[in-house]
Amino acid sequence: MTADAHLVFVGTDEGAVVGGRLQVGIRSAVVPTRYLTRAELSQLEELLGLYRREEHQSRCVSTGQHSTTFRMAGSGLEEKRDTDSCIEMEFVPDGQTFDLRPRSDILSLYEFTRPAYDEVFRRS
């Protein structure tokens, strides 16, 4: 099953507003509009930096089916990163094993799409 989310960020004096649409297979749902503070925008900038740095890392096994494209409307600028969202997790040693935790310095795109995923799967 494929999923595709289109998120639109519009800048404001205090931060930004984001909203969009999620398509999962033949089902779709609206990504609710949400206000973002400047601090959250900074965490999104960290996410983009993470994707730039870690695209070709080897600790997460990518299926090659996931990509994230960042586009700046009206500018023609685009960055496409082929990576799975597992890079958004940090590996924390725990004795002989490790624990996975979401990175605290980024804002995951899943934070925006989660309500739409919930809606799609609720209707399944």
Residues 100 and 77: their CA atoms lie apart, in Å, by 33
Give CA–CA dist 35/51, Å, rounded.
23
23-54 tens-digit pLDDT: 988 999 999 999 999 999 999 999 888 888 87
Q: What is the pTM of this model?
A: 0.77
Chain-centroid distance, C-alpha 45: 11
pLDDT, tens digit, for every residue of 61-119? 655 556 677 777 667 777 777 666 778 888 888 899 988 888 999 998 889 999 999 99
